[in-house]
Amino acid sequence: MPSRCKSHPVHHLPNKPCLDFKSLKELPDSFKWAPLDGPSRALELESESESESESVPVVDLNDPNAQKLIGLACKAWGVFQVINHGVSKSLLDKIEACGKSLFALPVQQKLKAVRSADGVTGYGPARISSFFPKRMWSEGFTIVGSPLEHARQLWPNDYSKFCAIIEEYQNEMNTLAEKLMWLILGSLGISTRDVKWAASPTGANPFKGASGVIQLNSYPACPDPSRAMGLAAHTDSTLLTILHQSSTSGLQVFQEWAGSWVMVPPISGGLVINIGDLLHIISNGLYSSVYHRAVVNKTRHRLSVAYLYGPEPNVRIQPLPKLSDANRPPLYRPVTWSEYLGIKGKHFDKTLSLIRLNNDSNEDNDNNSTLINGLKRGVDRTKSIKVDSNTKILAAFA
């Protein structure tokens, strides 16, 4: 796990004070974003998923074709949902209940576990807040390793149940993340022999030392969801992210080739899998990290639990040799997770561009490059296009 340093992007800190959302009957100006594009308004009608013509693929991990289906989903979307993944519904219910009880505490109590100025863990606003001029309609709680210290502050007499559930969740998520990594790598024709970037000298499990950060996100009901943003658009600085969402919709992914936002409807017992920037790098751009955001709801509270999974922090991540050759040179220079997080903490969504190798033939080689209305769009998003007027998604036009 990367050190709890200032450059860790899961830690952009309470630059703005935390709020008691329930007390706000109107959306304050500081929370007013330009009207959102995409299906956010449909949330009020709760019919958004039916109105989508395209939807994020759902893969049953018991399906004998799961690996192939995952490969197709990664290539086309950078995101998919899984069912029959081996994590019990009762554990998902328990982690959700943990999150709900945490965020239901009085603000003064939550502030006892606030993220410190140079820390990563604890309670606070969205970790990417500092990159945006407007505030986000959400609060979060970040856990790296044991939550004991903060749990004791939140529930001085009753913290052990929370800690036990978190530990169980971490173990289950780690097992699932590793399984998914092999399925994703397998879909690229990569086997254990090829994963030298993470292989230990003893040939032990290359994901030994890999770990995850748990991010609990709470999105209170909001007086004006059409002008509020729960969590602004970003990609994750992970290999992959496993997301559990409560039964209220809110997660949207950006479909690069259509240029539009698509809602990812919650599936009871299902989990959302996002491709992160590090997998984008090791796949040599074949599987792109997905831009996603969370919108909010007028009447319903929403909760999500992200498991942000990455490699051992000092291992060198680079395009796998098997996925690079003379015709498809490596798109990115080697980088450790720690270094990547440091750059992301300063440059946010320019990070992939900043570690991209300057190779003339690379523009034609990036699989994410697609022809949209005659314009070729590349994954490194080196010019800005407006996705909504507050958030710039970077996209490259050749």
Ligand X SMILES: O=C(O)CCC(=O)C(=O)O
- Contact predicate 340/241, CB 8 Å: no
Q: Under a CB-based contact definition with an 8 Å cutoff, are residues 322 and 354 in contact?
A: no
Least CB distance to ligand X at residue 235 (A): 9
- We find the least distance from the C-beta atom of residue 231 to ligand X, in angstroms, to be 5
Which CB atom, from 211 or from 245, has the smaller least distance to ligand X? 245
| Residue number with CB closer to ligand X (102 or 294) | 294
Using the rule CB under 6 A, give the single segment among 106-114, 117-125, 244-252, 336-344 that binds ligand X.
244-252
Instruction: Report long-range pairs for 118-121 (Cβ below 8 Å, ≥24 apart).
Output: 118/4, 118/5, 118/6, 119/4, 119/11, 120/4, 120/8, 120/10, 120/11, 120/144, 120/213, 121/4, 121/147, 121/150
Binding to ligand X by CB under 6 A, coded x per residue (else -) over 246-285, reads: ----xx----------------------------------
Q: Which stretch binds ligand X (CB under 6 A): 145-153, 243-251, 329-337, 370-378?
A: 243-251
304 binds ligand X (CB under 6 A): yes
d(C-alpha 337, C-alpha 332), whole Å: 14
CB of 302 to ligand X, least distance (A): 7
- The nearest distance, CB 215 to ligand X, in angstroms, is 4
With CB under 6 A as the contact rule, the residue among 245, 288, 318, 369 that binds ligand X is 245
Cα–Cα dist 317/198, whole Å: 8
String of contacts with ligand X for each residue 156-195, x by CB under 6 A:
----------------------------------------
Candidate segments 97-105, 172-180, 245-253, 347-355, binder of ligand X by CB under 6 A: 245-253
**What strand order describes the sheet that includes 231-234?**
231-234, 292-294, 251-255, 260-263
Are 288 and 379 contacting, i.e. CB atoms less than 8 angstroms apart?
Answer: yes
For the bound state, the minimum distance from the C-beta of residue 87 to ligand X, rounded and expressed in Å, comes to: 17
Nearer to ligand X, 142 or 187 (CB): 142
Beta carbon of residue 51, minimum distance to ligand X (angstroms, whole number): 19
* Token code pair at residue 293: 């955001």
Tokens 């097992």: give the residue.
Answer: 175
3-state secondary structure of 28: coil
CB of 211 to ligand X, least distance (A): 16
What is the spatial distance between Cα 191 and Cα 182, in angstroms, rounded to a whole number? 8
Q: Which amino acid is at 132?
A: F
Least Å distance, CB 266 to ligand X, is 9
The amino acid that residue 75 corresponds to is K
- Candidate list 231, 240, 295, 317; residue touching ligand X; CB under 6 A: 231
Of the pair 40, 304, the CB lying nearest ligand X is at: 304
Tell me the three state secondary structure of residue 100. helix
Residues identified as active-site:
302
Q: Name, in order, each residue with C-beta under 8 angstroms of 341's C-beta and a sequence gap of 6 or more.
A: 2, 7, 8, 9, 237
Q: Which is nearer to ligand X, 376 or 392 (CB)?
A: 392
Give the CA distances from residue 390 to residues 37, 40, 269, in Å, rounded to whole numbers and listed in that order. Answer: 11, 15, 34
Residues 59-118 close enough to bind ligand X by CB under 6 A: none
Torsion of CA 230, 274, 210, 199, to 10 degrees: -150
Distance CA 317, CA 298 (A): 42
Closer residue to ligand X in complex, CB, 121/217? 217
Instruction: Give the residue with the Cβ less far from ligand X, 138 or 284.
Output: 138
SS3 229: coil
Question: Site for ligand X (CB under 6 A): how many residues?
Answer: 12
Residue from 121, 170, 211, 215 in contact with ligand X (CB under 6 A): 215
Cβ distance to ligand X smaller for residue 61 or 308: 308
Residues forming the site for ligand X (CB under 6 A): 215, 217, 231, 236, 243, 245, 250-251, 292, 294, 304, 306
